[in-house]
Amino acid sequence: MRTRVRWLMTVNVAGMSGGPSSSQTPWWRNAVIYQVYPRSWADADGDGIGDLPGITARLDHLAALGVDAVWLSPFYTSPQHDAGYDVADFRDVDPIFGTLEDADALVARAHDLGLRIVVDIVPNHTSNAHVWFQAALASPPGSPERARYLFREGRGEHGDQPPNNWQSMFGGPAWTRIAESDGTPGQWYLHLFDTSQPDLDWTNPEVHDELDDVLRFWLDRGVDGFRIDVAHGLVKAEGLPDGPAEFDSANEPTALQPMFDQPGVHDVYRRWRRLVEEYGVPGEDRDRILCAEAWVLPLESLAKYVRPDELHQSFNFAFLMTPWLPDDLRASIDEGLAAVAEVGAPQTWVLSNHDVVRHATRLGYPQQPGHLRIEGIGADDPQPDTALGLRRARAATALMLALPGSAYLYQGEELGLPEATQLPDEARQDPTWERSGHTSRGRDGCRVPIPWEADLPSYGFGPSGASWLPQPEAYRELAADRQDGVDGSTLELYRALLRLRRERGLGRGTLTWTDGYGPDVLALEIASDVGPTLVLTNLGPEPVPVPDHLEVAVVSGPLTADGAVPTDTTAWLLSGT
């Protein structure tokens, strides 16, 4: 039977809140949440940096896309040494992004559109411009002001060696020595990231109380949850012991990292869970949620963060790092589902974010078994096969959006944006580039402003031609207006996937592998209360014929002339009517 292709349908905006839903399933267990990186999404005032009014003005795009919620990376007061992850005031908006009133307007507009808002909370560290750190610098060793951070004496006869051998995730030592108020060399403070990001001391009850209050501040303004930055880092091993010799903090297995995944972090999250639950409304699907950014392996350790009395979600970065190989993908999905099943939590799938090379580019390189974590790419590095990367990225997204659980999307992936791999080095702003002594190019390549309208200056990012990172010429043809309503465009593919995912109840379904398609094909049946959906992801060279009794509901790329699913393509199949 010849298959009927329905992947070219235009979206029904009103339909996004329709479709079957299960009143027993809290919204976050199968939500699709879209990450907006405020610097780069939409610029209302034309200064070349995105802002909150810009985001509000473009929220319709997300309603039409069909996501459930939006996660906003930090927009708080900050000197922007780490693009806002260096927070100077957790309770205010940085002037480059707008005002608190702009934040309120954004939340209100999102709620009007049926979109929930998740904001970032950065509890591991503050900016060195935060009043607490400024007070710590002005106060003597041993003072309560210093006790909010991790100040220690140096080692060696003159105290001129760092207190331990930890390194910053951005390169270089994780300790910086200060000058005391009399000008003499003094104590050292810990910063797991940039020197401008001193770590808070989570053994201090004052730190707990302060962050509780910050959570309440944003909950009272109506936000629907928090993504927790460096969620595995708050509590350090007692005594701040050295790591192993020749220690490279950023690249060790979690079990060897004395700064990560210590048992005490779980007490923090039990307390936070109780706090957010105060904001729930009995009988209404209004849970406020907590999602961990925790680079923790094995997955059994990560699953502890989503035990019933802790967080709601935790990104599955092991899936993000899985190469485009059938055995690796199958194992990654199985392990991901098994780990959270142990604790009764949904899995949280993700393929791209503001810290990693976009998956449309990652998958354009040769794939090898194991974990794939590509660092920032420069013009003199090997370049990806862009067409192959996009084809695989579309197939990977179609696979991910079929999986039970929730999923996060990163801005621009719905346009098929590749990483900007040829940025001039002088344009780079990620502190990684400087701190690594120009050995690691960092994350600017995935943070380039979004193209909205191909024929406007800055491709419609803002009203001027300004853009804080230069946009590649290739972004013009990928602009949203070039894809809107265009059959086969990546934007229309995402819309179709999200609509069908909702209609078929895939996020709340259960997965069973199906035999008979060969080792190069992932064949999975997702059964929900609506019925079964068969998902085929073909990673082999031979096209896979569609079984006679099924029809293609959505497919990530063109079928072959005789209706088979070709290589690097995912199809969702339904029983014919």
Question: Which residues of the shown chain bind ligand NOJ in the complex (CB under 6 A)?
Answer: 82, 85, 122, 193, 229-230, 293, 354-355
**Which of the 8 DSSP states describes residue 406?**
E
In the structure, how many helices (H) and strands (E) does the chain have? 15, 18
- Of 223 and 291, CB closest to ligand NOJ: 291
Least Cβ distance, residue 356 to ligand NOJ (angstroms): 9
Task: Identify the burial level of 197 via C-beta atoms within 10 angstroms of its C-beta, where 0-12 means exposed, 13-18 middle and 19 or more buried.
Answer: buried
Whether omega for the bond prior to residue 323 falls within 30 degrees of 0, making it cis, is: no
| Amino acid residing at 548 | D
- Of 34 and 85, CB closest to ligand NOJ: 85
Least Cβ distance, residue 365 to ligand NOJ (angstroms): 23
Token couple for 426: 């002088």
Cα gap 30→26, rounded to integer Å: 8
Cα gap 111→196, rounded to integer Å: 35
Least Cβ distance, residue 320 to ligand NOJ (angstroms): 13
- Of 82 and 328, CB closest to ligand NOJ: 82
- Of 85 and 90, CB closest to ligand NOJ: 85
Token couple for 354: 């503001």
Coil vs helix vs strand at 353: coil
Cα gap 348→331, rounded to integer Å: 16
- Of 118 and 524, CB closest to ligand NOJ: 118
- Of 293 and 444, CB closest to ligand NOJ: 293
Q: Are 292 and 232 in contact (CB under 8 A)?
A: yes
Element (H, E) at 301: helix 299-303
- Largest Cα span, the chain: 85
Alpha helices in 304-461 (DSSP H): 317-320, 326-341, 359-362, 386-400, 431-435
Q: Are 423 and 527 in contact (CB under 8 A)?
A: no
Catalytic residue among 229, 419, 444, 492: 229
Token couple for 63: 């309603």
Phi, psi (deg, nearest 5) at residue 109: -65, -40
Cα gap 355→444, rounded to integer Å: 9
How many C-beta neighbours within 10 Å does residue 68 have?
A: 23
Alpha helices in 46-197 (DSSP H): 52-57, 59-65, 100-112, 131-138
- Of 260 and 517, CB closest to ligand NOJ: 260
Q: Are 533 and 506 in contact (CB under 8 A)?
A: yes
Least Cβ distance, residue 482 to ligand NOJ (angstroms): 29
Least Cβ distance, residue 411 to ligand NOJ (angstroms): 14
Token couple for 90: 């957790």
Least Cβ distance, residue 273 to ligand NOJ (angstroms): 21
- Of 145 and 293, CB closest to ligand NOJ: 293
Q: CB under 8 Å to 131, separation ≥6 — which residues?
A: 89
Angle between helices 490-504 and 386-400 (to 10 degrees): 10
Rg (CA), the chain: 24
Token couple for 143: 């003072």
- Of 294 and 573, CB closest to ligand NOJ: 294
Least Cβ distance, residue 366 to ligand NOJ (angstroms): 27
Least Cβ distance, residue 171 to ligand NOJ (angstroms): 12
- Of 49 and 573, CB closest to ligand NOJ: 49
> Is the Cα torsion angle 190, 196, 197, 201 positive or negative in sign?
positive
Annotated catalytic, 209?
no
Least Cβ distance, residue 293 to ligand NOJ (angstroms): 6
- The residue with its CB nearest to ligand NOJ is 85
C-alpha 97, offset from chain centre: 20
Catalytic residue among 157, 278, 380, 515: 278
Strand pairing report for 116-121 and 225-228 = parallel
Token couple for 242: 């050295």
Least Cβ distance, residue 461 to ligand NOJ (angstroms): 20
Annotated catalytic, 224?
no
Coil vs helix vs strand at 176: strand
- Of 81 and 148, CB closest to ligand NOJ: 81
Least Cβ distance, residue 86 to ligand NOJ (angstroms): 7
- Pick from 243, 514, 256: which is nearest to 402 by CA? 514
In angstroms, what CA-CA distances link 274 with 207, 212, 308, 456? Answer: 17, 11, 11, 48
- Report, as residue numbers or ranges, the catalytic residues: 229, 278
